[in-house]
Amino acid sequence: MRTAIVLEMPTWSALALDGLRAAGLRRGGARRAVVEYLGAQDCCCSAQEIREGIAASGSAVGVASVYRALDTLAELRLVQRVDVGDGVARFEPVRADHHHHHHLVCDDCGRVAPFTDEPLERALERAAGRLGYTLEQHDVVLRGACDDCRRGLAPPGA
């Protein structure tokens, strides 16, 4: 059924596969698997997470192939590298529909989660204007303990 195919192929994945074809690159194997996995995520993933995610869906792709696919996608500006300061390279789809968000990082379990905040966006624009900058892009990373880790913490003094 056609609708089912459309639902399984989010916009970014379709664009990325078109981009690979336009660049004269084969879209099969590891590249396709990486594109389909990333397209289903709402935030960034490390190469290792991508490899594990693909493996969980029943295909085996080596981590070196995942890195090669990510390099190619980054060169084509279809993915961007996200650095949240923990030394792990993560990658996120560059979405045409301006899927702008920031990141929360848990220092205990390493989880990275997306968040959006409209007043924060406006505050950043205002701050940049006050400082005489035209804001082209910005990254905001909040660090701390995620809800799971926080609840797992021993009570003070224990």
73 is a contact residue toward Zn ion (CB under 5 A) = no
Nearer to Zn ion, 59 or 99 (CB): 99
Contacts of 32 (CB under 8 A, 6+ apart): 17
> Binder to Zn ion among 52, 114, 121, 138 (CB under 5 A)?
114
- Shortest Å distance, C-beta 76 to Zn ion: 19
Residues that bind Zn ion (rule: CB under 5 A) add up to a total of 10
Long-range contacts (CB closer than 8 Å, 24 or more residues apart) made by 62-69:
62/30, 65/29, 65/30, 66/30, 66/34, 68/30, 69/30, 69/31, 69/33, 69/34, 69/35
Nearer to Zn ion, 129 or 152 (CB): 152
> Binder to Zn ion among 30, 45, 66, 146 (CB under 5 A)?
146
Contacts of 7 (CB under 8 A, 6+ apart): none
- Shortest Å distance, C-beta 134 to Zn ion: 24
Distance from the Cα of residue 70 to its chain's centroid: 11
Burial of residue 147 (CB within 10 Å: 0-12, 13-18, 19+) is exposed
> Binder to Zn ion among 60, 109, 123, 135 (CB under 5 A)?
109
- Shortest Å distance, C-beta 5 to Zn ion: 26
113 is a contact residue toward Zn ion (CB under 5 A) = no
Contact positions vs Zn ion (CB under 5 A): 43-44, 92, 106, 108-109, 111, 114, 146, 149
